[in-house]
Amino acid sequence: MKIFITGATSGFGKAIAEKFAVGGNQLWISGRRGHRLEQLRNQLEAKGCAVFASTLDVRDKQAVNAVAAEVAQEWGTPDVLINNAGLALGLGPIDEGDTDDWDTMIDTNIKGLLYLTRALSPLMRSHKKGHIINIGSTAGKVVYQNGNVYCATKFAVDALTQAMRIELLPHHIKVTAINPGMAETEFSLVRFKGDEEKAAMAYRGFTPLYARDIADAVFYCAGLPPHVCINDMTITCTQQANSIYKTSR
């Protein structure tokens, strides 16, 4: 299969790329941090996987379209698009929110996903096959206090995934949402803008998900027979019920 992955330089995206680097799959990895992208590319090629790489900020519509044109010319039609790029910034009440953080979350989590889907789905449509996997969140199912705009972006991902499933149905394109709960990646470090102590507190007292757990789920969904599509999958650690309720050890 040919798999295009956004946000591949860390967390879920990196783990997903590592999981798919088997069995003759071809990967096109993308992310903002070029040096990390090149390191990952070298790592995956050492395993014998064919890898293309594009330094890409999904918020940049022109850059997204340029990469999509390169994909069409150099690679053809991707079998799987994994819209993974996303982030949370800040954790506080809406009346004290940082509007720059809001813009970054909306532009990345919603508009970036839309730009990639708009750019690559016509290639799938022309071949009457393909699979789009959107990485959502339990925050897109249940709002938690001080999550406001981040939760709103993930609710949007949920709505857009449902819309894609309906509107791409005539073209035989699968659409899946994977909604992780609390997972120990760089997520909290980014949210708290490098404050390692705050980031560590987010996972204290229980065993969270890890990036490889989500990679396993994505790999499973992508490998199902052509007549089977998982529309929506929510995954939490055993000690978490949803985006609000969790228990300590």
- What are the catalytic residues? 150
Terminus-to-terminus CA distance in the chain, angstroms? 41
- List, as one string, the DSSP characters of 36-53: HHHHHHHHHHHTT-EEEE
The label of the residue with tokens 């918020």 reads 59
Q: At what angle do helices 11-20 and 34-46 cross, to 10 degrees?
A: 20
Q: HSE (CB half, 13 Å, CA atoms) of 27?
A: 29
d(CA 238, CA 108): 29
Q: How far is CA 14 from the centre of its chain?
A: 10
Four-point Cα dihedral 55, 60, 62, 67, nearest 10: 30
Return the amino acid letter for 164.
M
> How many beta carbons lie within 10 A of that of residue 3, not counting itself?
24
